[in-house]
């Protein structure tokens, strides 16, 4: 059941949540049904930028639109395996002798891995007698299919045929062009290039994928630590803002007749500072979560390709997956944003002296890496000076960014 669940995960479209119909893979590595990605891009033209429905990474639509997006052969092969292993003899007709609707005489009993056809008993016997097909692997269908389950592991390997030369398997990896090719492709177009056996190079790619997956998993852990730090800073900031608001209110109550107007100004400024800071934190949180989603999705997909993909699947996907892993591990932008965000303290320092300046009487609210309201102890003729001054400054440099008087 666990294996069946893994196959379902690999063959399910994330848009329609159904089994893939003509699966196409985007540059970011995510796969969707052709019809689903076509519906997603209805307002786009070739050459326009289109974002991935999952990770939002943008790419340029090919000249013929989504039709030119590459097929996900890895998913296609798994779909073939799933269909062949789940077919029941009571509903499957023979595909070799014109079997469309299943009849009593032409019920399919086996599946030919090489021909990719369901065969009835009569066609199975003919298949075994003909020299060209006698060595083909036949997979039992229906109630007895469980006994022939080891042959399923060969289904993906035998389905990796060259698109240009029908019937020729992809056995060579061109090191110059970084593509999987058949023998005829090598003779016609790649005979001057460096090459390697696809099985040998696939092992190197598997090791590379394993390393990339480990790195991305470590990156996810690092990202979660950063997210935890951000949440902690946000909670502390909210507590400090709340505390400063209470202190401002208490001081304002003592001087209500003089400072009602300026009290409102201070509270509004504090609220504006809070809103600005919260927006910055929320924006950074969303960016980190998007990065983590991409990493987790990549790790799941790449690990699936590494563990269950054929040599051809791995050779096809290795380059793009490696580049995507390097891109996902670039945390420097988020880390710089976190550093720029800094640590903020919100404090209110009350004064015991009433003066004519309201700003000086109530106190001063500062927003920087330290947010403070410094209260005054004097009452003077200027209500602003008595109540206090509200200003935003950089805690590192001390430079005032804005001030309310």
- Looking at the predicted structure, is the pLDDT value of residue 376 above 60? no
- Alpha carbon distances (Å) from 65 to 38, 39, 94, 320, 350: 8, 12, 37, 20, 65
**In whole angstroms, what is the distance from residue 167 CA to residue 185 CA?**
12
The alpha carbon of 362 is separated from its chain's Cα centroid by a whole number of angstroms, namely: 51
DSSP 90-150: TTPBPTTTT-SS--SSSB--EEETTTTEEE-HHHHHHHHHSTTTTT--EEE-GGGGGGGGG
Domains of the chain: 1-75 (3.30.40.10), 202-404 (no CATH)
* Each residue's pLDDT tens digit, 150-178: 444 444 444 566 767 766 778 899 999 88
Query: Token pair of 172, please?
Result: 């060579």
Average the pLDDT over each of 20-29, 103-112, 230-239 and give the range with the smallest value.
103-112
**In whole angstroms, what is the distance from residue 269 CA to residue 265 CA?**
6
Average pLDDT over residues 253-282: 79
The distance between the two most distant Cα atoms of the chain, rounded to a whole number of Å, is: 112
* Each residue's pLDDT tens digit, 11-50: 788 888 888 888 888 988 889 999 999 999 888 888 899 9
Average pLDDT over residues 235-240: 90
Global pTM? Answer: 0.41
Q: pLDDT-derived band of residue 194, with 50, 70 and 90 as boundaries?
A: very high
Stated as kind and residue range, the H or E segment containing 300 is helix 256-308
- Looking at the predicted structure, is the pLDDT value of residue 193 above 90? yes
């Amino acid at each position: 059941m666990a294996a069946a669940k893994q196959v379902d995960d690999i063959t399910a479209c994330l848009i329609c949540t159904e089994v893939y119909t003509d699966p196409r893979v985007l540059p970011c590595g995510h796969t969707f049904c052709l019809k689903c990605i076509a519906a997603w891009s209805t307002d786009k033209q070739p050459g326009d930028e289109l974002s991935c429905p999952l990770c939002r990474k943008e790419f340029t639509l090919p000249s013929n639109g989504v039709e030119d997006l590459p097929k996900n052969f890895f998913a296609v092969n798994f779909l073939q395996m799933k269909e062949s292993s789940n077919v029941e003899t009571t509903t499957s007709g023979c595909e070799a002798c014109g079997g469309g609707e299943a009849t009593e005489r032409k019920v399919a009993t086996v599946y030919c891995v090489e021909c990719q056809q369901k065969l009835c008993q009569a066609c199975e016997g003919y298949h075994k007698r003909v020299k060209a097909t006698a060595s083909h692997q036949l997979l039992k269908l229906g109630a007895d299919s469980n006994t022939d389950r080891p042959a399923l592991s060969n289904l993906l390997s035998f389905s990796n045929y060259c698109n240009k030369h029908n019937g020729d398997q992809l056995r060579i990896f061109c090191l110059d062009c970084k593509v999987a090719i058949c023998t005829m492709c090598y003779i016609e177009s790649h005979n001057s290039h460096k090459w390697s056996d696809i099985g040998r190079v696939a092992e190197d790619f598997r090791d590379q994928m394993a390393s990339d997956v480990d790195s991305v998993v470590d990156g996810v852990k690092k990202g979660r630590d950063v997210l935890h730090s951000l949440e902690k800073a946000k909670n502390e900031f909210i507590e400090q803002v709340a505390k400063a608001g209470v202190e401002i209110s208490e001081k304002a109550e003592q001087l209500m007749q003089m400072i009602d107007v300026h009290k409102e100004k201070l509270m509004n400024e504090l609220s504006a500072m809070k809103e600005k800071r919260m927006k910055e934190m929320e924006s950074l949180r969303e960016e980190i979560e998007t990065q983590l989603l991409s990493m987790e999705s990549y790790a799941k997909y790449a690990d699936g390709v590494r563990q269950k993909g054929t040599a051809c699947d791995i050779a096809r996907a290795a380059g793009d997956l490696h580049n995507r892993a390097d891109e996902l591990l670039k945390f420097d932008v988020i880390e710089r944003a976190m550093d720029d965000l800094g640590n903020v303290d919100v404090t209110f320092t009350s004064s015991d002296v009433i003066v004519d300046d309201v700003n000086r009487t109530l106190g001063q609210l500062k927003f920087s890496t330290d947010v403070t309201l410094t209260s005054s102890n004097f009452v003077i003729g200027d209500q602003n000076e008595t109540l206090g001054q509200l200003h935003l400054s950089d805690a590192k440099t001390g430079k005032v960014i804005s001030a309310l008087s």
